[in-house]
Amino acid sequence: MTTVKIGSRKSKLAMWQTETVARMLNEQGIATEIITMETKGDKILDTSIAKIGSKGVFTEELEDMLAAGAIDIAVHSAKDMPSQLPEGFSLIAFSKREKAYDVLVSDDKSIDLNDTSRKLKIGTSSVRRVSLLKHFYPHVETVDMRGNLQTRIKKMQNGDCDALMLAYAGVFRMEYSELIVATFPVDKFVPPVGQGCIAIEAGKIPEEKKKLVRDCLNNLESETCLLAERAFLKTLEGGCSIPAFALATLDNDTITLSGGLVSLDGQRQIRHTITGPGKDAIDLGNQLGNKIIADGGKDLLAEIRSQQG
């Protein structure tokens, strides 16, 4: 019997994703073995992701295991994946996507983001979320908040912040939906590339095994949308440290791709939307990225990188 060795981070959310993948493979008669580890992004919690200085803070160690043949596939949150993978690695499948929007989580149900008289502290480790909050809610204070979902919620409950800004997908999967006090509409708070989707990475895996995994796990709609979003991010040469955003939707094989870039102080936004056939997903992503660059994005990206040092 074919056995697929699956690599994963150790956090509860990462394990939820990995166990979901393993269950899907098992249901098709494919045996699995799960191998867990901690990545640089899991270990370094006193520094923002933007300052750790690595494009693969949650992926490098898993890629080392793929390269060594210790695992066949690695399970990731798609939003953690760099837009450019190292040579020899590829994303071979994408899960059906959960709702991609951001939410505000708190024990305090009275929180109202529109109440400018109240000083609110919102915890987040995302430069995109910080920049968009500064743009839409400049009266709100943000505090850097690293760690897994459970750790961040505990920090909030200990008084480090009033609320957390998180991806709905993780909150839902970890069964914290009762803590949601607000949702952020995707037309204003466009999510990061890949949010809500699980990505399956492979190295030098035998073609037969790769086909087995892909046939079992890949959701074609998700893949089409993610190809467009990731092409957009690659054109910007963006990663976790850049406040870029993009969301693709597919309707009757027509992609609508919205994306852009926001300055670190939230004062300036560049965003555009384009549409086209699903078969042109990568080309559409490239087009949108080039449109953003031509519309002032080149200078804004240079400014962002200089400010981040």
Q: Which residues are catalytic?
A: 80
Q: In 78-184, which ranges are E strands? A: 90-94, 102-105, 121-124, 141-144, 163-167, 180-184
Phi, psi of 186, deg, nearest 5: -70, -15
What is the rounded CA–CA span in Å between residue 32 and residue 216?
13
Based on the number of CB atoms within 10 Å of its own CB, is 302 exposed (0-12), middle (13-18) or buried (19 or more)?
exposed
3-state secondary structure of 270: strand
CB atoms < 10 A from the CB of 280, how many? 15
Based on the number of CB atoms within 10 Å of its own CB, is 18 exposed (0-12), middle (13-18) or buried (19 or more)?
buried
DSSP state of 79: G
DSSP state of 160: S
How many CA atoms lie less than 13 Å away from 204 in the CB half-sphere? 7
User: Of all helices (H) and strands (E), which one includes residue 228?
Assistant: helix 220-236
Cα 228 to its chain centre, rounded Å, is 14
Q: In the chain, which ranges are E strands? A: 3-9, 31-37, 73-77, 90-94, 102-105, 121-124, 141-144, 163-167, 180-184, 198-202, 244-251, 254-262, 269-277
DSSP state of 278: G
